[in-house]
Amino acid sequence: MSTETMNPSTDDFASMFEDSAAASTLQEGRVVPATVVAITGDNLILDVGLKVEGRVALKEFMLEEEQPKPGDIVEVFLERIENLMGEAVLSRDKARREESWIKLEDSYNKDEPVKGAISGRVKGGFTVDLGGVNAFLPGSQVDIRPVRDVGPLMGEVQPFAILKLDRARGNIVVSRRAILEESRAEQRAEIVEAMNEGDVRDGVVKNITDYGAFVDLGGIDGLLHVTDMSWKRINHPSQVVNVGDTVKVQIIKVNEETQRISLGMKQLEADPWEGIESKYLIGTRLPGVVTNITDYGAFVELEDGVEGLIHVSEMSWTKKNVHPGKIVSTTQEVLVEVLDVDSEKRRISLGLKQTQDNPWSAFLGDHPPGTEVEGEVRGITEFGLFIGLGPELDGMVHINDISWDVPGEQAIANFNKGDQVRAKVLDVDTEKERISLGIKQLSGDPMSDLDVRRGDTVTCTVSEVTSGGIEVQFGDPAMTAFVRRSDLSRDRSEQRPERFSVGDKIDAKVTQMDKASRRVSVSIKALEISEEQEAVKQYGSADSGASLGDILGAALASGDDKETSDKVTETPDEIDEDDN
């Protein structure tokens, strides 16, 4: 060994120090610059310093814009400084991946889009190559609308937005939809700004819903609502337009904040409701077609875009509480009459029954009040009987018009559904559609025909015996009256109803007659008091010394049968008071 080798000079120490410092800059797991020394076959020989060389496959530089040549400096990833062969382990792909991560982090922090290409399909989405780094593209983030075929997008370099980046886990989530929405929003803003209400444009129908159709106006969609498609009634938009149709529409409203555009087609046509009141005068009869039936009536089309409503109450004179569908049907042609026109609310009230004969007026013409009719009992209620007067009309016999003598509740119990009865027409109200009938009016009023006055003596026949008195009948026609227990006799011991039997003939005095309430009161007691007073007057007085029996005996012996009932001077109330 030479003395120079054993004793290095100061320059040698300086060179060794520089080599040591350079070596300290070389750290495994980092990107380092390297000089292309030579190209041998499919490899590049690279010098990373300290005379340390390594090999990198030439194919790792295929993505470079320019292929490296000897003397060029390239960046590679230093995996190991020296392997078993004494060479450095280098990688251009890993260096490029490191560069990509740095750029991606910078773009993510600045919220900038990155370039990439869809490279494959995985569960739930796709993989995207972002310059050596793979990212995940969820299926929902491919496009604004669901995409059935992603084939045309595969391998195409395009911008993506980074939604999530985690370098430690090597996880990146990107979105193509966010880029499209941002671009679309900018386009929409420009298009909306250029639109004015009232503009007429051509568009293409892209989608149809139950409430309308979406029309593409060239970069932005507008809604054509079903009510703005035509002046006439439309049940579904598909009756007017189909997907793919080119339509001419008018811009009705533009909302710059929400960028929503409302469109209309009927606005391009004349409004059929203008001057409608002069066209459809009240009382005019005209034909129409039933277009729709509801629970409350039926809509009738009078002309294109003009419909009127026949309310259920205006459909039939006689069919009440019936669904309109049982009277008319859709597409049926009907003759209607205009009842009312409201141009502001765009409403026309129509009548169907007005074009037909009013059965109530016809009945009145054929059966004026006083006419006798016959019909079947169709209904019985607590307030009367309903009598059928033909296939459509009913008349009502009020409970008070059934019988002169029997109370209404009892009289109505004598009838059953299906009974044939005769009655007299009392009144016909065509406006309220009512016919009033009476059964008792078929016979004369016994109160009016009864030739009896208060104070008269009448011969009665006992018809019923009760604990409170007896019921009697008298006169022709027969009149019913009730004799109270206290009026059965002047003698209290004789005021016993059980001493009478049904069919017995008795004389009694009429003490009260009320034609309004149809009440007649008779009293045996009043008759006895009246006869006594008459006998005293004719045959004696209280101070003559004759007994009452003598006076009555003389009166009976005289055979005087003169009527004395008209000379009663006491009222029934006074008689009761004296008796008590």
pLDDT tens track for 448-495: 666 778 888 889 999 999 999 999 988 776 778 889 999 999 888 888
Distance CA 238, CA 220 (A): 22
The pLDDT value recorded for residue 216 is: 87
**What are the distances in angstroms from CA 569 to CA 10, 282, 461, 531, 565?**
174, 72, 26, 12, 10
CATH of domain 276-351: 2.40.50.140
By three-state DSSP, how is residue 430 classified? Answer: coil
**What are the distances in angstroms from CA 379 to CA 98, 196, 321, 416, 419?**
98, 68, 17, 9, 10
pLDDT tens string 353-405: 989 888 888 888 888 998 999 999 999 998 899 999 888 888 999 988 888 77
Report the mean per-residue pLDDT for the chain. Answer: 80
Task: Look at 171-180, 378-387, 497-506, 528-537 and tell me which has the smallest mean pLDDT.
Answer: 528-537
Structure-model confidence comparison of residues 206 and 103, the more confident one: 206
pTM higher than 0.85: no
The pLDDT value recorded for residue 294 is: 92
The pLDDT value recorded for residue 337 is: 94
Pick the CATH number of 195-268 from 3.30.420.40, 3.40.50.620, 2.40.50.140, 2.60.120.260: 2.40.50.140
Q: How confident is the model at residue 563 (pLDDT cuts 50, 70, 90)?
A: very low
For the segment 252-276, the average pLDDT, to the nearest whole number, is 84
Asked if pLDDT for residue 297 goes beyond 90, the answer is: yes
For the segment 47-62, the average pLDDT, to the nearest whole number, is 72
pLDDT tens string 552-562: 555 555 544 44
What's 359-438's CATH class? Answer: mainly beta
Residue-wise over 490-513: b if at least 16 C-beta within 10 A, else e? beeeebebeebeeeeebebbbbeb
Give the percent of the chain with pLDDT over 70.
82
Structure-model confidence comparison of residues 543 and 106, the more confident one: 106
In the chain, where does the domain assigned CATH 2.40.50.140 lie?
27-110, 111-181, 195-268, 276-351, 359-438, 456-535
Check if the beta carbon of residue 439 is closer than 8 Å to that of residue 423.
yes
The CATH H-level (homologous superfamily) assignment of domain 111-181 is Nucleic acid-binding proteins (2.40.50.140)
What backbone torsions phi and psi does residue 485 show, to the nearest 5 degrees? -60, -40
Cis peptide before 324 (omega within 30 of 0): no
Q: How confident is the model at residue 338 (pLDDT cuts 50, 70, 90)?
A: very high
The pLDDT value recorded for residue 321 is: 83
The pLDDT value recorded for residue 8 is: 52
CATH 2.60.40.420 fits 456-535, yes or no: no
The pLDDT value recorded for residue 500 is: 92
By three-state DSSP, how is residue 281 classified? Answer: coil
